Structure 1
Amino acid sequence: MSLDDRAEELASDLGVDKAEVKSDLENLVSYSVPIDEAVQSLRRKYGDGGGGGGSAPSEKDIGDVTTDDSSVSLTARVLTVGKRSIQTQGEQQDIFEGELADETGTLSYTAWTDFGLSAGDTVQVGNAGVREWDGEPELNLGESTSLSFLDDELDVPYEVGGGATLHELQSGDRGVTVEVAVEEVERRTIDGREGETDILSGVLGDESGRLPFTAWEPHEAIENGDPVRIENAYVREYRGVPEVNVSEYSTVTPLDRDIEVGEDATQVSIAEAIAAGGMYDVELVGDVLAVRDGSGLIERCPECNRIVQNGQCRSHGDVEGEDDLRVKAILDDGTATVTVVLDRELTEDVYDGTLDDAKEQARDAMDKEVVAEDIRRNIVGFEYRVRGHFSVDDYGANCDATSFERTDDDPADRARALLEEVTA
């Protein structure tokens, strides 16, 4: 049934003007509210319970809210409030988003109306819509939602205000505050909503680690590389890892102190990195089990840098490929496996030769595969310490290595230590 038919049926049931109902229905759907949920929301708005006698949804604890709920009422503490602009149906829309909490858990929210929320507020929310976002429930606070501020402060076991270290941030966080050093920064011109626009991108660091960032409007303090306090940032996944996003509503303030950036990457197991869905600048230790096909001497498209096979690029068709070196190694640490990707520089190290050496060897043998075979002999069966950026996609777990070093550990010593741990 089309939206117009649903509006006509709903207007007839409720005895109200179809044009008004249709406008409300289109508005809710434009905010990604499912059509059935939007219909029920309008039934409540115009005084019909949709077969339920007009009763309001019962109040729930946050820990009990699921994606099966169509609407809920609850009492909660506001942990964070972020503001940003999105584009919907060709128009810009300001939204407010963050996290709510009670003693049973936390829940993200998006408010399509400015309710005047501030971090630390205790609020009573009525008739809030629920939608699924990244597999989890999220509250939608819209025109049909009632919200009141309570004088009594709700005590919750969570930090109010959004302050976090970079290591604590996860994709989906909104309204966060970080104090960081700008490790790398560059200004780029992209095709934005209103034509060409300048943005800043690079890497931020603090004592807990590093994360990439994008500032959608250049801030002088960031571009100058100053230590900064960034408020009202949000985090989204980019190329499989969390990325800090600084919007036009973010506040950037220079700090009068230096930020010590940790030199060491966070060491995790491969299973932990997979469970996190992606991590930036991590360290893994494991054994190389194999070198995958597509390693060694390869060709790349001069236009997009993708791998060229048989003179064909997936995006640009027939091309004359440019020679390059790459390794895709399978690393196993006993918890899981990951494909570690080495760039030309790291591949030259494990090959013990340059790109020109590899081309000469392949010409002499009339077979590119000899380069990959030499690499296999050099690294398979040995333990390596790998530092890089970990991502998980439909094809599995990958780590783009920034360093790849064989460990000095004696395999016999590691085996004895493991046996002692097991028998202890």
Structure 2
Amino acid sequence: MGDRYAPHVAEIRMALGDRVGVDVILEDLEKLVKYRVPLDEAKRSIIKKHGGTDSVRKTLSELSAADRMVEITVKILNVSKRDVDVRGVRRTILSGILGDGTGQVPFTAWNEFDLEKDDVVRIRGAYVRLWQKQLQVNLGERCEITKKDIGAGLGEVESEVMPTRLADVRSYMSNLCVVGVVLEARQEVVKTRDGERTIIDGVLVDDSGKLQFTSWVLDDKIKTGSSLRIENAYARPFRGIPTINISEQAAVILSEKEITPIEDAVHCSICELLGRDGALDVAVWGNVLSVRPGSGLVMRCPDCNRVIQNNICRAHGDVVPVTD
């Protein structure tokens, strides 16, 4: 078998099982490709020809953003319901986290499937896309969902959603789970489209970094010093830094996990910062290549506190400046 077609033949065999031999699949595939049939269409055609479904079995770790019509067997680790506007039409969708023995991936179901936390299901006809730099499984009208017995060949599956380190949180992440200690928490009144609303603003810290958070619900557990596990949160950028948002759909749980929060600023290289969506309380080192005119360190007169340049104050002449 040529190396060129080996992975595609293996993928077709996963969908058909042992009902068709490798030589037959390879012959069919080479014939279709010879007649300029696109490879993905050729694979679907062969699967249908031999009585299989056009869904290709994969584990979560094998998924890619180009996958269409995949079959996965997973456990529902988290699921919630919310209303969204789709092209001007209000509809209810489900979102949450899927898990198997190889990993965890967020999902969105565009129909109200009967899915509950801890269900083990086989999903056929799902598709995958990259949403805000994050793989997401989508369940549409063509999906077939069958509930299975617990286990179902999944291997070892985590019973809970694995938390994301604060340093790894990126803007627009959804179905987010984080664990940390509340470093600061304060109530504020803000104006929204629906009028004034009291929120909780603060800073969360873990062993990897710090991030600001906003809770749109008043929860007594969110207070300075509390160790929290926050599930089903989402991240949005605020002043160039990802901020964790806690809505009515989120779950705030007192955590018994031992957390060693960092105390000092995290040291980051410029290369590391470029790979992130901003960061809070970091120390950066590097060489200063240029300084934009009008910017830089602000120096003040020690007597009148005026901003000065070249160590000269308009009122006091030559002075020994102090930094702002």
- Please indicate, yes or no, whether the TM-score normalized by the shorter chain is above 0.5: yes
What is the aligned-residue RMSD (CA, Å)?
Answer: 4.1
Matched letter for residue 251 of structure 2? T
> Is the alpha carbon distance of 1:232 and 1:150 closer, same or farther for their aligned partners in structure 2, counting shifts above 3 Å?
same
2:289: which partner in 1?
A: 289
Is residue 227 from structure 1 mapped to residue 226 from structure 2 by the alignment? yes
TM-score by length of 1: 0.51
Structure 1: distance between partners of 2:121 and 2:257 = 37
- Superposed, 1:357-396 pairs within 5 Å as 357-358=306-307
Q: CA deviation at 1:56?
A: 3.7
Matched letter for residue 275 of structure 1? G
Q: CA deviation at 1:55?
A: 7.0
Matched letter for residue 161 of structure 2? G
Structure 2: distance between partners of 1:283 and 1:93 = 45
Structure 2: distance between partners of 1:362 and 1:266 = 34
> Is the alpha carbon distance of 1:149 and 1:276 closer, same or farther for their aligned partners in structure 2, counting shifts above 3 Å?
farther
Q: 1:80 touches 1:162 (CA, 8 Å); kept in 2?
A: no
1:189: which partner in 2?
A: 190
Structure 2: distance between partners of 1:353 and 1:283 = 28
Structure 1: distance between partners of 2:158 and 2:258 = 28
> Is the alpha carbon distance of 1:136 and 1:173 closer, same or farther for their aligned partners in structure 2, counting shifts above 3 Å?
closer
- How many residue pairs get aligned? The number is 264
Q: CA deviation at 1:286?
A: 2.0
Structure 1: distance between partners of 2:288 and 2:183 = 34
Give the number of the structure whose residues are more often helix, by fraction: 1
> Is the alpha carbon distance of 1:253 and 1:242 closer, same or farther for their aligned partners in structure 2, counting shifts above 3 Å?
same
Structure 1: distance between partners of 2:167 and 2:283 = 13
Structure 1: distance between partners of 2:104 and 2:256 = 34
> Is the alpha carbon distance of 1:277 and 1:181 closer, same or farther for their aligned partners in structure 2, counting shifts above 3 Å?
closer
Q: 1:265 touches 1:282 (CA, 8 Å); kept in 2?
A: yes
Q: CA deviation at 1:84?
A: 4.9
TM-score by length of 2: 0.64
> Is the alpha carbon distance of 1:353 and 1:219 closer, same or farther for their aligned partners in structure 2, counting shifts above 3 Å?
farther
1:330: which partner in 2?
A: none
- Superposed, 1:72-111 pairs within 5 Å as 72-81=70-79, 84-88=82-86, 93-102=91-100, 106-111=104-109
Structure 1: distance between partners of 2:83 and 2:311 = 54
- Superposed, 1:74-153 pairs within 5 Å as 74-81=72-79, 84-88=82-86, 93-102=91-100, 106-112=104-110, 113-118=112-117, 121-151=119-149, 152-153=152-153
| Structure 1: runs of 5 or more not aligned | 1-48, 296-326, 328-346, 366-373, 379-403, 405-424
| Structure 2: runs of 5 or more not aligned | 1-44, 315-320
Q: CA deviation at 1:199?
A: 2.5
Q: 2:269 touches 2:286 (CA, 8 Å); kept in 1?
A: no
Q: CA deviation at 1:68?
A: 3.3
Structure 2: distance between partners of 1:282 and 1:95 = 38
- Superposed, 1:203-352 pairs within 5 Å as 203-222=203-222, 224-225=223-224, 227-238=226-237, 239-253=239-253, 261-295=261-295, 327=296, 347-348=297-298, 351=299
Percent identity of paired positions between Structure 1 and Structure 2:
28
Matched letter for residue 358 of structure 1? V
The C-alpha deviation readout for 1:140-192, integer Å capped at 9, x for no partner, is 12343222232225125878423344345444151415242241323232223
> Is the alpha carbon distance of 1:153 and 1:175 closer, same or farther for their aligned partners in structure 2, counting shifts above 3 Å?
farther
Q: 1:233 touches 1:250 (CA, 8 Å); kept in 2?
A: yes
Q: 1:181 touches 1:259 (CA, 8 Å); kept in 2?
A: no
Is residue 65 from structure 1 mapped to residue 14 from structure 2 by the alignment? no
Structure 2: distance between partners of 1:90 and 1:216 = 25
